[in-house]
Amino acid sequence: MHASLAIVQTDTRVERVTVVVVDDDPDYLWLVRFILEMRGDGMTIVGEAASGEEALALVLRERPDVVIADLMMPHLNGLELTRRIKQARPQTKDLLVSAYTEDTYRRIAAVSGADGFVSKHLIHSGLLPAIREVIVRPPSRAGV
């Protein structure tokens, strides 16, 4: 479940990047794990969850740098998960992903407090740059 260690150079320090992945589709969880393990410059997956409820508990326990969550999940969806994470751990970066590609979903993600948005159709080429972007973005620039 763990990818190799990620190193991100920030001003004068180097740190690893920890990630929690959330999606109710096990194939998507596998795909994100594969991308991070193969090309993630060592990003460490510290947990995976199949629901928003499970993810929230995982985030509070593991305190990841980044949460990658599906926008549309039953019960606690990615939007509400993002809101709750921002209340409990505002320093955690939230990256929402969706099969929906319309700009409306990107705007909805931004309103929820998400730090980034990636279409699942572009996940192979867009996920890693999006993670790197949200990690280095100052907290005041939160929102997609």
The model's pLDDT over 21-77, given as tens digits with 9 standing for 90+, comes to: 999 999 999 999 999 988 877 689 999 999 999 999 999 999 999 999 999 988 899
Question: Could you tell me the CA-to-CA distances from 128 to 6, 59, 81, 87 in Å, in that order?
Answer: 11, 20, 21, 25
pTM value is: 0.84
Dmax (CA) of the chain = 42
The model's pLDDT over 99-114, given as tens digits with 9 standing for 90+, comes to: 887 788 888 888 888 9
* pLDDT mean over 112-117: 91
Question: Could you tell me the CA-to-CA distances from 32 to 68, 103, 129 in Å, in that order?
Answer: 9, 23, 13
The more confident residue out of 95 and 13 is 95
The more confident residue out of 59 and 143 is 59
Residue 118 CA to residue 15 CA, distance in Å, equals: 24
* pLDDT mean over 84-94: 94
Residue ranges of domains in the chain, CATH in brackets: 8-137 (3.40.50.2300)
The number of residues in the chain equals: 144
Question: Could you tell me the CA-to-CA distances from 112 to 38, 52, 100, 134 in Å, in that order?
Answer: 31, 14, 16, 15
- The confidence score (pLDDT) of residue 109 equals 86
- The confidence score (pLDDT) of residue 15 equals 61
